[in-house]
Amino acid sequence: MAKILMADDAAFMRKVIKDTLSKNGFTDLHEAVDGADAVAKYDEVQPDLVILDITMPNMDGLEALKAIKGKNPAANVIMCSAMGQEAMVMDAIKSGAKDFIVKPFKPDRIMKTVTAILGAP
């Protein structure tokens, strides 16, 4: 079973992702409240996939992405961004993110992106 770590400072956004994934068969789901928490939990959980918001307090998603890729260059990371953050998304892709999802989330887009990387649950 694939382990997925979701990091977003908005509890509602984590819930939307978690609900979408669990309804589609992914059940080993972990949450982080910001980038620093995501990096710490990455070591603890050793997830197969990380979903990172770009804009978070303490450590933003780009910094967290670089820290996670520094620990594991093969880490699978998907970035989340709001509309209008195209430059940040390009930085994330250059830094090793596999893909990105634009907010507001559409469940089919989340699942298409996750299953492209992990396959079916």
The confidence score (pLDDT) of residue 82 equals 80
8 A C-beta contact, residue 89 and residue 101? no
pLDDT in tens, 10-61: 999 999 999 999 999 999 999 999 999 999 999 999 999 999 999 999 999 9
Domain 3-118, CATH number (from 1.20.1300.10, 1.10.10.60, 3.40.50.2300, 3.60.40.10): 3.40.50.2300
> In sequence order, what are the residues at sequence separation of 6 or more whose Cβ sits closer than 8 angstroms to the Cβ of residue 105?
13, 16, 17, 20, 80
The confidence score (pLDDT) of residue 83 equals 67
How far apart, in whole angstroms, are the C-alpha atoms of residue 65 and residue 107? Answer: 23
pLDDT in tens, 98-118: 999 988 888 999 999 999 999
User: What is the average pLDDT across 60-87?
Assistant: 91
What is the model's pTM?
A: 0.94
Give the C-alpha distances (Å, rounded to integers) separating 52 from 36, 66, 79, 107: 11, 11, 5, 16
Query: What are the sequence ranges of the domains in the chain?
Result: 3-118
Name the CA dihedral angle for 76, 82, 88, 94, rounded to a multiple of 10 degrees: 30
